[in-house]
Chains A and B, each alone.
Chain A
């Protein structure tokens, strides 16, 4: 207890020391970064999960790619449940020159059974509404703006003219969690009559029920005992929650990784600052030891000081994290409309624990070694030097870092990959920084004395310079990748596509419509028409083993096994497909053959010669796997995971799926065409690309400021390094001042030093972002020869040089004022 009081007294004396302030600031930053991200993701998750019933629009339901049999509705009615039917699908709405891809929900008038549908009447009034009447449609604000229409006007949807009865203000499901596409609500009967829900359409039908919990439970038990329609599933709040959770896991991992980077960089700053603190305390501790204080008591004193610093810092971190999370939540509330939640506290407290773990893990080794100083070190300073050496205790921060990575990534395997990747990136950054430092040192001798002095200062603390440059460059690389490379990657992706790349897809084309549709399309200027047959079926067995009983580890495989598959066939290998194993179909094979793409091969561990059984309509087809294909999914052509041989597949019930190119400006003619063929679903690929771009913009907008934490952590490493080298810098400044250096020269030398450090970090980050962008372009977006534009990256590198220079000058301002007499006094 006495030692703890002594520790607090010592902290009160020492808290102004730059290294202790760096320790505190690093802990605050780690807690804030981890806390904000954890609070935001938890809040979104809690909010959405809590309103799962509202999201469904009913208490329970069943959904399928085709109409739900009446038995399900009748069983509900018998149990006194309210019932509504819906169908959702994408479709293009036309209004004179304008066209817009919409997420359409077709409902009956009973919709919604749970939650609230808010409709604006165009005159500023809001009413609680229900599913639209036949002949009318409800559009959200974005759809109205895109189509240049107002409430009361008419739009064409599914080949029918519909009156806009109101503006859709709020849907029970919030219009998807993150509303990306404009939404429309139309009448189910209109959609049925327009043929939008026919065989082969992309519509998802739902039957929703609501009522007394006991009755709902009875219906649920009944439905579970029934065979669901093909590809159908029960919609339960739990299952919706699970899907939402998966979506959050993916979205949250990027944020968590950013927070992780900030926390680990804070750890580096903590390690540097605690080394410096240990060095400063060496004499005091060796004296304490000489005066008879035991090692244990010294350690208690040091850890007590650390604890006295950690607790208030962690508390500040928690408060800041909560405040920032609340601010961000209010800022982003438009994106997450209709998801009211309380501010969760626990994630920030967990972040505080993780932050303290980082502090203890990274600060412990030098402090333990400090307590190990033998009493005789008071006479022989060399004995105290062992605290500077690397030893086995430094495995503690490594273990803490690994534990943190494991905690935030959620799986040991992913943690391993992440740890190796982070280490790899850090090692490459460090090597590059060392190389650039070497180059700078070689070119400096011909330069101005200030430049020479600046470079000499960098070289003097080579290890520290590399740590600083690496930390700064890692934060900067992440920011550049997201802010500079990602947008240009999307532009590049779009520009890479030939100008006549198909920009429309058409679904649900019937056999007897093919010839007329082709002619009509070429009359309005459409070309590059490519049609593929489309059958909808289900994979039931592989080599005789039922798929639903297979022990599938891949989530995608489990998902595909439950869902309906789209199957197609072709005599020739489609463009943008390459056979990488086996043989393409032989003409008229005796047994049905199937060619799978590589993703399916990996999901189900398929081998050439395996037999897959598909159920299509009433019949079934056994097909032997004869080839595997690599498919370029970014080509915007019609592509399929599974292709069957035409000889056997032609007999399957099917519709046609087509892609074509239509010059912009011909959309009015296309609107007329869609009136002639109301059963067709048209998908505007340009609009899809715009959606992708919008998603990326929103996501980058949302996370850019979180990335600011990693930059801030990089700056903290810089500041910790400045604190570490402060004494040495003051000594050098005193010597140079004694030799007659003017203050201005020292300032310019410091400016050169930090500008070069920033430039090295900036160039490393720019190169990292270029390589990262090149890799993403090549491997993910399949853009040949994509190279991020170097000019914005070069500007970013220069900006980094300027910012680091200013930070460095601010941090060393006092150093240039060191009185030269200090040198004589230090004798």
Chain B
């Protein structure tokens, strides 16, 4: 179902195991998948199915026990944590279920954060544009505590898109929002995805949300299956 453009994310035979108190525990087994540039891709699964572990591996937050993950041509498993941090800073954006805004920074300062980490001199202007894109120009100087849940998630979306990442990873982006606000936030996320040509990788247990993506897969007990 890809649009024929080259893959931005290639996963081959990825497994992840951890040593628990009762011995070795396999969380992911031989996962293989491919996501193309500009595609929206949903990973659905029940709690404990390994969704979050997979998202962490795809975004370079963790390394697989075996297998290979190529993110925009970089083999993540071969890079150390510092090199993966560089990749994340340049290529990746995140939207979290709990928003994860820094409470002492204003909305604008939160959005500036990825650009500041890059040392971008035009951070403020770019952050203002990003806030305008999520219709929050009037809330620039507000602190997270002064914003509603929906507004906080929109700030998080502005932060995720502000440095034009190649891939946006979203972890249950509507999990903490009511249905209506959730829908509005998702509309915004998909619109930006489309406008920026960003690849979207979404982890959710909300099937309706998954259906809005171009492709969806289901994770069951650590194995990837086509969505029924």
B-binding residues in A (CB < 8 A):
449, 452-453, 456-457, 459-462, 731-732, 735-743, 745, 819-821, 823-827
CB within 8 A of A821: which of B61, B82, B86, B89? B61
Q: Per-residue CB proximity of B89-129 to A under 8 Å, as 1/0?
A: 11010101110101111000100011011010000000000
Q: CA separation between A821 and B92, bound complex, in Å? A: 15
Q: Given A732-B102, A821-B56, 4 more contacts at CB 8 Å?
A: A449-B117, A456-B102, A742-B82, A827-B175
Residues of B within 8 A of A820 (CB): 56, 61, 85, 88
CB pair A740 B116 closer than 8 Å: no
Q: A658 CB to closest chain B CB, in angstroms? A: 71
Task: Flag whether B70 is at the interface (Cβ < 8 A).
Answer: no
CB pair B56 A456 closer than 8 Å: no
CB pair B109 A827 closer than 8 Å: no
Q: A40 CB to closest chain B CB, in angstroms? A: 46
Q: CA separation between A735 and B117, bound complex, in Å? A: 12
Chain A, residue nearest B105 (CB):
A456
Residues of B within 8 A of A826 (CB): 98
CB pair B104 A740 closer than 8 Å: no
Residues of A within 8 A of B114 (CB): 739-740
Residues of A within 8 A of B104 (CB): 456-457, 459-462
CB pair A735 B100 closer than 8 Å: yes
Q: CA separation between A586 and B175, bound complex, in Å? A: 96
Task: Flag whether B172 is at the interface (Cβ < 8 A).
Answer: yes
Residues of B within 8 A of A452 (CB): 116
**B residues 166-190 in Cβ contact with A at 8 Å:** 171-172, 175
Q: A775 CB to closest chain B CB, in angstroms? A: 37
CB pair A824 B89 closer than 8 Å: no
Q: CA separation between A740 and B55, bound complex, in Å? A: 16
Q: CA separation between A794 and B62, bound complex, in Å? A: 46
Q: B209 CB to closest chain A CB, in angstroms? A: 16
CB within 8 A of B116: which of A449, A457, A825, A827? A449
Q: CA separation between A490 and B109, bound complex, in Å? A: 52
Chain B, residue nearest A731 (CB):
B100
Q: Per-residue CB proximity of B69-88 to A under 8 Å, as 1/0?
A: 00000000000011001111
CB pair A827 B88 closer than 8 Å: no
Q: CA separation between A738 and B59, bound complex, in Å? A: 9
Q: Per-residue CB proximity of B204-215 to A under 8 Å, as 1/0?
A: 000000000000
Q: CA separation between A460 and B144, bound complex, in Å? A: 12
CB within 8 A of B94: which of A456, A459, A462, A739? A739
Q: CA separation between A95 and B94, bound complex, in Å? A: 88
Residues of A within 8 A of B116 (CB): 449, 452-453
A-binding residues in B (CB < 8 A):
52, 55-56, 59, 61-62, 81-82, 85-90, 92, 94, 96-98, 100, 102-105, 109, 113-114, 116-117, 119, 171-172, 175
CB pair A735 B102 closer than 8 Å: yes
Residues of B within 8 A of A739 (CB): 88-89, 94, 113-114, 117
Q: CA separation between A827 and B109, bound complex, in Å? A: 23
Residues of B within 8 A of A825 (CB): 52
Chain B, residue nearest A745 (CB):
B117
| Residues A819 and B85 in contact in the complex (CB < 8 Å), given A824-B171, A827-B52, A827-B98 | no
Residues of A within 8 A of B85 (CB): 737, 740-743, 820
Q: CA separation between A15 and B175, bound complex, in Å? A: 37
CB pair B82 A738 closer than 8 Å: no
- Identify 9 residue pairs between A and B in the complex whose beta-carbon atoms are under 8 Å apart, listed by A's number: A459-B104, A731-B100, A735-B102, A740-B114, A745-B117, A819-B62, A820-B56, A820-B85, A826-B98
CB pair A740 B56 closer than 8 Å: no
Q: CA separation between A457 and B59, bound complex, in Å? A: 26
| Residues A740 and B90 in contact in the complex (CB < 8 Å), given A456-B105, A821-B56, A824-B56 | yes
Q: Which of A738, A740, A826 has the most CB of B within 10 A?
A: A740
Residues of A within 8 A of B109 (CB): 456
Residues of A within 8 A of B117 (CB): 449, 736, 739-741, 745
Chain B, residue nearest A460 (CB):
B104
Q: CA separation between A739 and B114, bound complex, in Å? A: 6
CB within 8 A of B102: which of A460, A737, A819, A823? A460
Chain A, residue nearest B116 (CB):
A449
CB pair B88 A821 closer than 8 Å: no
Q: A337 CB to closest chain B CB, in angstroms? A: 59
Q: Which of B56, B62, B103 has the most CB of A within 10 A?
A: B56
Residues of B within 8 A of A735 (CB): 100, 102
Q: CA separation between A743 and B85, bound complex, in Å? A: 9
Residues of A within 8 A of B89 (CB): 739-741
Q: A819 CB to closest chain B CB, in angstroms? A: 7
Q: CA separation between A824 and B56, bound complex, in Å? A: 8
Chain A, residue nearest B92 (CB):
A740
Q: CA separation between A823 and B95, bound complex, in Å? A: 11
CB within 8 A of A827: which of B62, B90, B92, B171? B171
- Which 9 pairs across A and B sit closest by C-beta, in order of nearness? A740-B89, A460-B104, A740-B88, A449-B116, A820-B61, A821-B61, A821-B56, A827-B97, A821-B62
Q: B41 CB to closest chain A CB, in angstroms? A: 17
Q: CA separation between A352 and B71, bound complex, in Å? A: 61
Q: Which of B85, B92, B97 has the most CB of A within 10 A?
A: B85
Q: CA separation between A452 and B123, bound complex, in Å? A: 13
Q: CA separation between A737 and B102, bound complex, in Å? A: 13
CB pair B55 A824 closer than 8 Å: yes
Residues of A within 8 A of B92 (CB): 740
Chain B, residue nearest A461 (CB):
B104
Q: CA separation between A462 and B117, bound complex, in Å? A: 23
CB pair A738 B172 closer than 8 Å: no
Chain A, residue nearest B124 (CB):
A445
CB within 8 A of B100: which of A449, A461, A743, A823? A823
CB pair A738 B88 closer than 8 Å: yes
| Residues A740 and B86 in contact in the complex (CB < 8 Å), given A449-B117, A827-B97 | yes
Chain B, residue nearest A441 (CB):
B104
Q: CA separation between A457 and B103, bound complex, in Å? A: 10
Residues of A within 8 A of B55 (CB): 824
